[in-house]
Chains A and B, each alone.
Chain A
Amino acid sequence: MSEQLIQQLVNGLLIGFLYSLIAIGLTMIWGVMNIINFAHGDFLMLSMFISFWLYTLYGLDPIFSIPVCTGLLFLLGLLIYKYLVSKVMTGPALAQLVVTFGVSIFIANAAVLLWTPDFKMIEKPLLTGTWSFGTIQLSIPKVVASAGSVLVSLALFLFLRKSKTGKAILATEMNRNSALLMGVNTDRVNALSFAIGSALVGIAGAFLSMYYYIYPGVGGTFGLISFCIVALGGFGSIEGAFIAGILIGIVQTLGGYFFDPAYKYAIVFALYLVTVWIRPQGLLGW
């Protein structure tokens, strides 16, 4: 009993760290620009496919394709911001809402067209297998992915607090007009945030591709959960998203184990609703 409890807790943490990394990218875009990136899950899928094709065509292991996925997704974020999102930033709110939705539909359908809806999996990644500690099983790729998520989140945190660009991003997030008055180039901050947000989900995709199946619809549930995490953590709060991601991972696995697995997402969304009811701004929002 207690062994399974520890096992479930560990599994919850392992999926939670990854949720955090996915959600941090989303919350960053929201915080700076007040734009919900509906294509976030599709970005995750794209990154997984990049990792898959690098492996299939060039034999590059997913652990080494992390920089490529990060770079390409950064570029994608930059281009989408420059040619689509920035055009509607001053437009009506509805246009801001639907633009990323359109991007999402476009990417998902293009992926079906290009790569068929079939399921793919990286066959023999370097990191595979499990560590056994007594009866507790730890999946090696999941542990590495979790450690990576924590490191990346930490690095982002330091970047935002210590570097000048990071401070400019935070300043814009807090008050766009004041930041503008202080000489911050807010358009550049927007572009950078969108690109960093995309790059973060790119890293998550590369990690996920080590042990998860890949197909054009893979971003769906991950995307949905990351919206929930962002709202739970507080819109725009990076620390909030980090904590909320872990919380949701644990609630999901323990809820599934102790109650009924059929309701584990219901429990997750109930937790979100209760939090919003008590603290509408989310755990660490303001």
Chain B
Amino acid sequence: MHGKRSRILPYALTLLLSLALTSAGVAADKVIKVGAVYPLTGNIASTGLDCRRGVELAVDIINGKYPDLNLPLAKDAGLPNLGGAKLEIVFADTKGEPKNGQAEAERLVTQEKVVAMIGAYQSSVTKTASQATERLKIPYVCSDSSSPALTERDLKYFFRVSPHDAIFVRDQFNFLRDLEKERKVKFHTIAALYENTEFGSNVGKQILKVAPEYGYRVVADVSYAANATDVTSEVGRLIKASPDVVMHASYITDAILFTKTFKEMGFNPQGITTFAGYIEPGYLPAVKGDGNYFVIRSTFALDLAKRKPLVAKVNELFKKKYGIDMSENAARSFTAPFVLADAMNRAKTTEAEAVVKALLSTDIPGDQVLYPWIGIKFDPQSHQNIYAQGTLVQIQNLQYVTVWPFDSAAAPVIWPFPPWKSRK
């Protein structure tokens, strides 16, 4: 026992010393520290890990030389206008809790001395973290939270690159209307099913608001706790209401549980359109074939590569680094570091006021983003990217396939969904 321990000790010491030395070496270079708050442990740790991969690949591309990638700052090493300074991301774990989002954001700014912030995936956490950075006057660029309320607060330092749920909800209704025209079907009733934190309840609110505009009646309004162990009563309510279409805003655990419960209780509406949970990389491996046919809001799908060669190139790098394909979450989180680095580079400083000014004049063309957008340009008041828009994908044969807008679909949507009993 003692012999063993004394042999391990020198190794441990060496490791510690070398770690200390390497970090000292990095500090000697010119680095720009950016904080990133993500749920790295807890209920949705798998999602947080996925976001982190997207951010890390983005930083690799910004810091290295990638002459054949048409992305901001890919061609030069680091930020050329800041003497080739490199980005360094300091990650912090929110455990998916709003209170940690705030505490970790404060710690990153006051102790780690980060000059900007990205993250935090969950809208409820982004909300508190960005309140902290607003108070501390630090720019925050978010490309992975979708609650509309985030850009309705008139914050000075907060910017959002990705589309928000008001846009996504409208997309889903437009999809239904297009489907009615194309397939000569008619929908009358909708059920809103949503988890009850910031993200889900905002989607729910939007569904209830928008449905009447399209002439649909909301026959069930079901909110639930995302960490529920059993959702049979929720599905029971849906069965009783018997809607034509269900719109479901979920995180991953509840998406898995609902899929299983829909099947178990034989719930067969014409179709189910969804938000977030069903597109997590952990979802399909868990539910396998039961995940087929769900329609999901998305900003990214690998089949975009057919029209956007950039998607294939970035996915290739991603696959080389992590051994898996890039998911929607990784693709969303990927963008914030570029927007931030681009603004700092144009501002020629990391000083907050100048960076905010530069962010306001951001104008990244559509061919330099991974998604089918017009580009990135922020609304001067709300700081929401006015060029962001969504698409819909459907799970077909265990693949995410773009199905809407119809003119850019990779395959026709399968509708109505085949009943559970007739599936293999």
Given A1-B240, A213-B286, A262-B196, verify A137-B229 contact (CB < 8 Å): no
* 8 A Cβ contacts from A213-250 to B: 213, 215-217, 220-222, 225, 249
Cα A221 to Cα B254 with chains together (Å): 13
Q: Interface segment, B3-11, B41-49, B118-126, B336-344?
A: B41-49
A8 interfacial contact with B, CB 8 Å: yes
Interface residues of B in 56-112 (CB under 8 A from A): none
How many contacts between A and B, using CB within 8 angstroms?
112
- Picked from B46, B48, B281, the residue with its CB within 8 Å of the CB of A215 is B46
Chain A residues in 8 Å Cβ range of B228: 221, 261, 264-265
- Decide yes or no whether A106 CB sits under 8 A from chain B: no
Assess the A117–B230 pair: CB atoms within 8 A.
Answer: no
Residues of B within 8 A of A7 (CB): 232, 236, 265
Q: Complex: how many Å from CA A213 to CA B229?
A: 10
Partner of A11, one of B48, B230, B252: B230
> In chain A, residues 248-276, which have Cβ atoms closer than 8 Å to a Cβ of chain B?
249, 252-257, 260-262, 264-265
B280 nearest CB neighbor, chain A only: A119
Docked-complex contact B223 and A262, CB < 8 angstroms: yes
Tell me which residues across on chain B come within 8 A of A139, comparing CB atoms: 264
A129 to chain B, nearest CB (A): 9
In chain B, residues 362-421, which have Cβ atoms closer than 8 Å to a Cβ of chain A? none
B46 touches A261 (CB 8 A): no
Given A121-B286, A121-B287, A213-B286, the answer on whether A15 and B265 have CB atoms closer than 8 Å is: no
List of A residues within 8 angstroms of B224 by Cβ: 256, 261-262, 264
For B240, the chain A residues whose CB sits under 8 A away are 1, 4
Interface size class on chain A is: 35 or more
Residues of A within 8 A of B281 (CB): 118
Smallest distance from the beta carbon of A136 to chain B beta carbons, Å?
10
Whose C-beta in chain A lies nearest to the C-beta of B45?
A117
Q: What 0/1 pattern do residues 1 to 39 of A give for CB contact below 8 A with B?
A: 100100110010001000000000000000000000000
Chain B residues with CB under 8 Å of A262's CB are: 196, 223-225
Q: How far is the CA of A222 from the CA of B283 in the complex (A)?
A: 21
Distance between A15 CB and nearest chain B CB, rounded to angstroms: 5
A177 within 8 A of B: no
**Among candidates A11, A118, A216, residue contacting B232 with C-beta atoms closer than 8 Å:** A11
A207 interface residue per 8 A CB criterion: no
- Residues A11 and B236 in contact in the complex (CB < 8 Å), given A137-B266, A213-B256, A261-B223: yes
The answer to whether B257 touches A213, judged by C-beta atoms less than 8 angstroms apart, is yes
**When chains A and B are docked, how far (Å) is the Cα of A168 from the Cα of B237?**
49
Shortest C-beta distance, B289 to chain A (Å), equals: 10
With CB as the reference atom, state the residue of chain A lying closest to B253: A213
Q: Would you give the shortest CB distance from A249 to chain B, in whole angstroms?
A: 8
The reply to whether B236 and A117 contact each other, CB–CB distance below 8 Å, is no
Q: Contacting B229 at CB < 8 Å: which of A8, A108, A119, A221?
A: A221
Residues of B within 8 A of A252 (CB): 230, 233
Any chain A CB within 8 A of the CB of B31? no
Q: A213-B256, A264-B228 in contact; A120/B286 too (CB < 8 A)?
A: yes
Q: Do the beta carbons of B236 and A15 come within 8 Å of each other?
A: no
What residues of B have a CB within 8 angstroms of the CB of A1 in the complex? 240
A15-B252 contact given A112-B45, A117-B49, A121-B286, CB 8 Å threshold: no
Query: Could you pull out 28 A-B pairs where Cβ atoms are within 8 angstroms?
Result: A4-B240, A7-B232, A8-B233, A8-B236, A11-B236, A15-B229, A108-B41, A109-B41, A116-B49, A117-B41, A117-B48, A119-B282, A120-B285, A121-B256, A121-B285, A130-B265, A139-B264, A211-B260, A215-B282, A255-B233, A256-B233, A256-B237, A260-B223, A261-B223, A261-B225, A262-B196, A262-B223, A264-B224
Q: What are the nearest 4 A-B pairs in CB distance? A: A256-B233, A117-B45, A11-B232, A261-B224
Other than A117-B48, A261-B222, A262-B224, give 19 A-B pairs with Cβ distance below 8 A. A4-B240, A11-B230, A11-B232, A117-B49, A119-B285, A119-B286, A120-B286, A132-B266, A137-B264, A213-B257, A213-B260, A220-B43, A225-B229, A252-B230, A256-B237, A261-B223, A261-B233, A264-B224, A264-B228
Residues of B that sit less than 8 Å from A by CB: 41-43, 45-46, 48-49, 196, 222-225, 227-234, 236-237, 239-240, 252-253, 256-257, 260, 264-266, 281-283, 285-288
